[in-house]
Amino acid sequence: MYSLDINFLNDRSESKPDKGRGNRPQATVSADDRRPLLLGVAAMVFFPVLAGSLFGILTLRNGDLERQQADLDVQLGTLEAEKKNLSKVREETKQATEEAQALATVFNQIKPWSAMTQDIRDRLPKSVQIASVAQIAPAQGAAPTPAAGATPPVSSRIEIKGIANSFNDVNDFMLTLQQSNFLRADQTKVVSAELGEEKALQIPEFPGVKREMGGFKPPRLPRKVSFTIATAINDVPASELIRELDRKGAVGLVTRIEALKQRGVISATSAKPASPTPAATQTDGAKKP
C-alpha cells in the first residue's frame, strides 16, 4: 500500500528559499585591493597641487600687475613733467604774443613826421608859405581819459604857422588839410589870421653908387596874412594807410607793417577810403578884418 507523506514545512512561506537572491552574485572586497588607498592618496596630492598652482598663478599675475603699475607711474611722472613743460611753453607763448601785440600796436599807431610833413608840403598852395610846424599839448580837460586797460589813442595836436597872400589862400589851405588821411578834418581849423602891415621894399646901397635924394620912393610890398592853423593827428591805424605811407616815402614803416601782417600779428585789412570832408564853415576859416 501506498503511504501519504505530507511535509507541512514546505507549505510555510518563510521557509521557502529565495531563488532570485540565490542567483545574484554578491559584491565582495578583497583585503588585497589597494585602489581606495590610491584614490585617497591621489586626492590628497591633487588638491594641494591645484591650490599651489592657483596661488602661483595669482602671485605671477600680481607681479605683472605691479610691474605694469610701476610702468604706469613712470609714464604718469613723465606726462606730469611734460604737462609742466607744456604749461611753461604756453605761458612763454602767451607772453611773447602779448609782447608782439604790444609791439604791433606801437608800429600800427606810428605816424612818421616825414610822411606827414610831406603830405602837408604836397597840399601847400603856391601863395602860402609855412613858417613852422610844431606839436602842441592838448588843452587841459580836452583829451578823454582812456578806460582801464585800454590803449590810449595816438592823437596829438599840431600847430601850423605861416603867411599867405590873402585870407582866401588861408581858407584854401585849411580845406586841403581837411582832406588829408593823416589829420582829423573835424579838428582842422584856423585859429588866427591877421593882415600884416604894408612894408616898403628895402633897396640896398651899392658902393660907388649915389642915390638921388629927389622924389624917389621905394616900391611898397603887398600886405601878407599871418595865420595859425590847429589840427590833430588822426587815430586811424597805420596798417590802413599803407598806400598813403608808401607814396609819402615811409618805406621803413611800411616794410615793418607788411612783415607783421605776414606773421599774423596784424590782421591784413585794406586801407579805408578817406571820408568825404565837409565844407568848411566861415567860423572855421580866416575872416577878413
What per-residue confidence (pLDDT) applies to 105? 76
Q: Do 174 and 158 contact (CB within 8 A), yes or no?
A: no
**Cell numbers found for residue 105:** 600796436
Distances (CA, A) of 126 to 130, 131, 173: 11, 14, 10
pTM of the model: 0.55
What per-residue confidence (pLDDT) applies to 248? 79
Q: For residue 234, which of 188, 197, 190 has the smallest C-alpha distance?
A: 188
Phi first, then psi: what are they for 218, rounded to 5°? -70, 150
- Rounded to whole angstroms, the Cα distance separating 177 from 229 reads 10
What per-residue confidence (pLDDT) applies to 136? 82
What per-residue confidence (pLDDT) applies to 176? 92
What per-residue confidence (pLDDT) applies to 280? 42
> Across the 289 residues of the chain, what is the mean pLDDT of every consecutive 10-residue run?
58 54 55 74 81 86 88 90 91 85 75 86 90 78 52 68 92 92 89 82 64 60 88 83 80 78 65 42 57
Q: Which residues is 159 bridged to in the sheet?
A: 134, 230
